[in-house]
Chains A and B, each alone.
Chain A
Amino acid sequence: MSKTDKSKNKLKEEVKNLEILIIDDNEQITKMLTTFLELKDHKCTVANDGKEGLALIKENRHDVILLDLAMPEFDGYSVIKNLEENNMLKDHKVIVFTASTITQEELDDLVKRGVTAYILKPIDIDILHSKLVDTANL
């Protein structure tokens, strides 16, 4: 927490060393995000499915969690539901990202339940970074 407090007053571009958990089944996407975020001097952990992601969430604290909603079997919704059931959703900063087959109502509902932000695919990496920093600084 002290880390994010310190960076609060800095410019977005200068925010570094965030610990980011990326949960997405698509390896090309996780590789691209890792390449980008590591070049921005953040630390990335990758989980390729919801179950693995959930275990990592419970193990360690991350500054931000990037969660893909559409995954086979244990998807992003299941991760959110599990966190909710364990009263843990409000403790984590979760950004969900999705191709916009989801309706605005569903997105609003997720935010109401405690998801911090959402990003629609395809992702503009500059927007992604600014949302990441905003979310981490909340």
Chain B
Amino acid sequence: MLPIKHTLFIVSGVSSFIIFYMGIVNFLTSVEESTGMILLIFSVFVATGTLLGTVHISTSITKPIQKLAKNMSDFSKSNKMSDENQIKTNVKEIFELNENFVSMGEKVEKTITLQNEYVQKLKDMDRKKIEFSSMVSHELKTPLVPILGYVQMLQKENFLGNLNEKQKDAVDEIYASTVKLQRLIGDIMTTQKLDLGKLDFNNEDINVLDLINGVIKEFKPVADAKNIELVTDYDKNTHIFTDKDRLNQVFSNLIKNAIDFVSQNTGKVIIGAIDNLEDIEFYVKDNGPGISSENQKEIFKKFYQIDTSTSRKRSGSGLGLAICKGIVEALGGKIWVDSEENIQTTFYFKIPKKPIKISVNNESKKFEISI
């Protein structure tokens, strides 16, 4: 790129040279020596004048432009307009250019200040929301303590006195609902913590086979009660380094759903894993009614529940899959579903074998505030 200064100098230099050259030619070819001399002196004056004029014009253009360019680059670095924005110029175009820059800069500065105020406000609201939600969950949990305690005492034989069959049924129903409420509160708290990036994660060496056998053992009684098959097709001794409790939580939610949706007596739930180079792809497959493609897009959203025509009694809070997604992503993995209606549903979740540090996400997540 060529600076204006150089361009002007070249143009004026060439024209001065031509004027000077013509002066010499005139001088040499003129009949009368004095006329030639006058023309020569004149051409020297004109040539010098042109050069000096160019120097003056070029500095009066380039100086303010250079200053403006510096102001602009300073502004882009600091996002703050300096106090020395006014540049001296007699050139109308440069003056207008500078005026526009100054007014634009002031607007940008104002917008940034306003934005920072909003961010601060959001942060304050966020903090208040955390305080409020932790207070609410504490307040909700506290009365559950005596309710659950007394119900458990009522359920015991020879403790608070024995109940008749109808009373026993009633107490069992109260117990089931209390446990459900307790789980719901727990799920809400987990979701809030995930949203704020405040859930704790451990890293430990996990044997995948032990993990799968563990969850199968945990859910065997539930599966047996419904007379359905709960099996694994995994038999390798692979290790993964991640959070065992959270992984169990994901499995629990998925298996609970699967058992819930398959038919009694003919239902089958398969738990397995695919050992990849960098990660392990776990899956929970069932032969339930399947999930339509429209629903597949929605199921990981909070409080989304599928309305089935069979309108089964569902026990979930509508948060289970959202929690699964949150946990899997926090562990650096990915969760997805594959399903054919009336044939099968498979939930896959991929977890890296070695822990991945992810904290960047949480900061941005902090501002997804819904009121």
Contacts and interface: CB of A to CB of B under 8 A. Distances in A.
Interface of A: 26, 28-29, 31-33, 35-36, 39, 70, 99-101, 103-105, 121-126
Given A99-B138, A101-B138, A105-B200, A125 B153 contact: yes
A31 B137 contact: no
Contacts of B145: 26, 28-29, 32, 121-123
A32 B153 CA distance: 9
Given A33-B149, A36-B153, A121-B145, A99 B200 contact: no
A14 B160 CA distance: 18
B146 A29 contact: yes
Interface residues of B, number: 21
A107 to B, nearest CB: 10
Contact of B153 (A35, A100, A122): A35
Given A99-B137, A100-B189, A105-B200, A125 B146 contact: no
Interface in B139-176: 141-146, 148-150, 152-153, 159-160
Nearest to A33: B149
20 contacts: A26-B142, A28-B143, A28-B145, A31-B146, A32-B146, A32-B149, A99-B138, A99-B141, A100-B141, A100-B186, A100-B189, A103-B200, A104-B202, A105-B200, A121-B141, A121-B144, A122-B141, A122-B182, A123-B149, A125-B148
Given A35-B150, A104-B200, A122-B182, 13 more contacts: A28-B143, A29-B145, A29-B149, A36-B153, A39-B159, A99-B137, A101-B137, A103-B200, A121-B145, A122-B145, A124-B148, A125-B148, A125-B153
B138 A70 contact: yes
B84 to A, nearest CB: 52
B134 interface: yes
A122 B148 contact: yes
Contacts of A33: 149
A39 B149 contact: no
B142 A125 contact: no
A33 B134 CA distance: 24
Nearest to A103: B200
Contacts of B149: 29, 32-33, 36, 123, 125
Nearest to A121: B141
A73 B197 CA distance: 30
Interface in B180-217: 182, 186, 189, 200, 202
A99 B142 contact: yes
Given A35-B153, A36-B153, A101-B137, A122 B200 contact: no
A105 B145 CA distance: 24
A33 B150 CA distance: 9
User: Which of B134, B152, B160: most chain A CB closer than 10 A?
Assistant: B152
Nearest to A123: B145
A39 B160 CA distance: 8
Contacts of B153: 35-36, 39, 125
